[in-house]
A and B are shown apart, each in its own frame.
Chain A
Amino acid sequence: MRLQRWYTPYLLVLPGVIWMVVFALWPFLNTIALAFTDARPLRPAEFVGFANFDKMLEDDRFGYALTTSLIYVVVCVPLLTFLPLLLALLVHNKVPAIGFFRTTFYFPVIASAVVVAIVWEFLFSGSGTINSALNFFGLIDRPVEFLSDRWLLIGCAIGLTVWKGLGYYMVVYLAALGNVGRELHEAAAMDGADRWRRFWSVTVPGVRGPMMLVSVLVCVGASRVFTELYVLSNGSGGPGGRAMSMVMLIQSMGKGLNGQVGYASAISLVLFLLTLVPLLIVGIANNGDTIREALASRRAVKAAKIKREATVQEVQR
């Protein structure tokens, strides 16, 4: 048998490493480097220390963008974690033509986010379907400002994100529901558990893993929301740019021949760090048992050690 040379494993992983360095690690490190400069296109960049971060604290647009992104996360995570589960339970039943309903619920996922957002804009604009209908029935004198009021605009965008995401996460739950044993439900029913109780005590624990995955995906997606708000506000972020998300702000600050690339990179870095926080919380929640076990085992080891030392001391005495 011929022995492989020492560098063979390195050669095998080299394409993957190059790919990762060029398209992931290098841009990431470059963003960090730029965040501490006053870089603008076609001009020499100078190191400015934490000036971009100081500027962020005084920039009211950053405050609005942060608020928008946080609201997006806080509202979208529970909605997109539980509504798709309920939908999956609904279409999990074997009834005639259920395939049709499953496909229908999945349709918004296939459609382009931009196209869907344009359709929503037709619905909610001042002369759109909803305002026209409300006006027709005499319910309003002037159009409801769905897309020019900060909170209504954010609400419409969240509605769009939830509607579009339902089908995707429904499929994730459908796959997981197949693994929840029927016998568990039967046993719970025999013990007197009603449907609601069985949902919380059997179904939810049964899909806990996928549920954590969904919440992590929704959390990351919501904190990086762009398309929905951008299209619904035609890129303006609403009056005062108050409905801009963090990514919209990064795009508006960094684009063009006069873009403030350094400042946009600093906001990107903050967004990255902020995304880590909910991920950390979800990670801890997901691995709660493991962490508890590890802590308990550590305490046990420590107690055993103390006990052993005490015994040794007693023997010595």
Chain B
Amino acid sequence: MKIRTTIAAGIAVATALALTACTGGPSSPAASGSDGKISGNISFQTWSLKNDKFTPYFESVVKAFEKEHPGVTVKWIDQPADGYEDKILQQAGSGELPDVVNLPPEYAYSLASAGQLVDLKKESKILGDYVDGGVGAYKYDGIDGSFGFPWYLGTELNYWNKDLLAKGGVTAPPKTHAATLDAAAKLAAAGVQTISDVPGPKSLQIMVSDRGGNLDVYKDGKFVFNTPEAAAIIQRYAELYTAGAITPEALQNAGTANANVNNFNKGTVAWTTSGPNYIDKDVSVNAPSILPSVEASNGFGSPPLFVQGISVSAKSKNSATALAFAEFLTNTKNQIAFVKLAPGFFPGTRAANEDPAAFTETAKNKMQGVATDLAASQMNKARMVGAPKFTEAMETYAKQQIALAVKGEISAQAALDKAVEYAKQNVAS
């Protein structure tokens, strides 16, 4: 009887210990095993870049680094496009974050606030070689330091279906967002739909800037995107929905990525926004039938700046090697070689951007060349949208509320107020 009681007690204690070990607490930062020498094995992770185009590039970069530093081995891992955030979370949670990792600024913010990334401002001597906008994307209010080397940068352009515009009597793509909404009303009267997305706070920032104003998502410790200017734009969307200028899919997909691009590819709407490589990467592959009708134009207002960066894990056992590889991968020579493979994107170092001719490759389609030139012309005024504390879940919630306002079930101001309240209640302390 005593033995049974002991066994039962043992199981209970083990269960209790296991439970306490899994309540979300971060593991303490590992003591760095690095002795400052560039040696040993490191892992390097990219995001959906293992394919015929990029694989030879990464293999050659890894080989060159290993040749430069005999005895060093770099293990390259690539993760699929879907579920990257969950993969990063799983790796960070289990203390297995790769030594060198490709992270967008919002993911890097979460990891930096949990002490999982190396402060490059402190550890790297060459951070000044990178473009300010890119470095700034990896600096966060409330956290001292900089947590990513800018790797490649992009922006967003407008794409138009000229045939659909012509059907509604619109002869040239509108130059401003306000003109686009007027054109949408005109096209709706001719039975042509223009819009298949509802604006979120991030796109409202662009729309407000196009009207000469300024919309902050987060300022002085508060979420402040519920302004009358933003509400007026949503109200206009509601009117356009009633007029038939906006597809039902815009409401169905509120808060999901790429819904407007998918509808544009189907040829059901006249306007979408997308990255600079949309023509060669997407339209020519997934919707070749509409390719002759597609025309690109500059993004509205202050267009968004998209940054991809390379960060170094704070738990790396060979942090000196990891840092050296991150610097090597993002040096001017390697960045130019990389963006040559990705038309429409721009390198993250100052030196590489001094001579755009060095990385501009001939595009497969004529309109891709136009899009690349347009992207280059607007990079100077592109800026980061959103805010590190404004999470994807908050953007999704805001879009869901805005969809209700567009449908006419709540007012535009109420939608924004609810979204601000939700953000306020759900922000991580």
Interface of A toward B, CB cutoff 8 Å: 6, 10, 21, 25-26, 29-30, 33-34, 37, 39-45, 55, 125-127, 142-143, 145-148, 153, 233-242, 252-253, 255-262
Contacts and interface: CB of A to CB of B under 8 A. Distances in A.
Contact of B256 (A21, A29, A234, A239): A234
Interface in B74-131: 85-86, 88-89, 92-93, 107, 110-111, 113-114, 116
Given A33-B19, A234-B256, A41 B400 contact: no
Contact of A257 (B19, B22, B88, B251): B88
A257 B85 contact: yes
B51 interface: no
Contacts of A39: 23-24
A42 B111 contact: yes
Q: Which interface residue of A40, A233, A242, A256 has the most chain B CB atoms within 10 A?
A: A256
14 contacts: A25-B15, A26-B15, A29-B15, A34-B23, A42-B110, A126-B268, A145-B248, A145-B251, A234-B256, A234-B259, A239-B407, A241-B400, A256-B89, A262-B24
A41 B93 contact: yes
Contact of A260 (B22, B244, B426): B426
A194 B247 CA distance: 53
B249 interface: yes
B350 interface: no
**Most chain B Cβ neighbours within 10 Å, of A127, A239, A241, A259:** A239
A213 B403 CA distance: 41
Interface string B120-160: 00000000000000000000000000000000000000000
Given A239-B400, A252-B393, A257 B111 contact: yes
Contacts of A41: 24, 89, 92-93, 110
* Most-contacted residue by chain B among A127, A145, A233 (CB, 10 A): A127
B225 interface: no
A230 to B, nearest CB: 10
A165 B299 CA distance: 48
B22 A42 contact: no
Contact of A45 (B23, B244, B266): B23
A148 B261 CA distance: 18
B249 A258 contact: no
Nearest to A58: B425
A45 B251 CA distance: 36
A148 B85 contact: no
Nearest to A47: B23
B269 to A, nearest CB: 10
B409 interface: yes
A255 B83 CA distance: 10
Nearest to B24: A39
Most chain B CB within 10 A, of A26, A41, A145, A146, is at: A41
A301 B154 CA distance: 83
B371 to A, nearest CB: 26
A240 B252 CA distance: 10
* Most chain B beta-carbon neighbours within 10 Å: one of A29, A40, A242, A257: A257
A234 B24 contact: no
Nearest to B16: A29
Interface string B1-32: 00100010001000100110011111000000
Nearest to B108: A257
Interface string B242-268: 001001111111111001000000101
A148 B393 contact: no
A26 B251 contact: no
A125 B89 contact: no
Contact of B251 (A127, A148, A258): A148
Contacts of A256: 85-86, 89, 391-393
A37 B25 CA distance: 11
Given A26-B19, A237-B400, A258-B392, A45 B254 contact: no
User: 5 nearest interchain CB pairs?
Assistant: A39-B24, A42-B114, A257-B110, A148-B251, A239-B403
A266 B256 CA distance: 25
A29 B11 CA distance: 14
Nearest to B401: A240
Given A26-B18, A147-B248, A33 B23 contact: yes
Contacts of B15: 21, 25-26, 29
Contacts of B404: 239-240, 242
Given A126-B248, A236-B256, A43 B26 contact: yes
Contacts of B88: 257
Contacts of B397: 241
B34 interface: no
Nearest to A240: B404
Contacts of B92: 41-42, 257
Most buried by B among A34, A234, A260: A234
Nearest to A121: B252
A232 to B, nearest CB: 8
A241 B251 CA distance: 10
Contact of A236 (B26, B114, B253, B409): B253
B252 A258 contact: no
A33 B15 CA distance: 12
Contacts of A260: 426
Nearest to B255: A236
A255 B92 CA distance: 14
Contacts of B89: 41-42, 256-257, 259
Contacts of A257: 85, 88-89, 92, 107, 110-111
Nearest to A244: B400
B411 interface: no
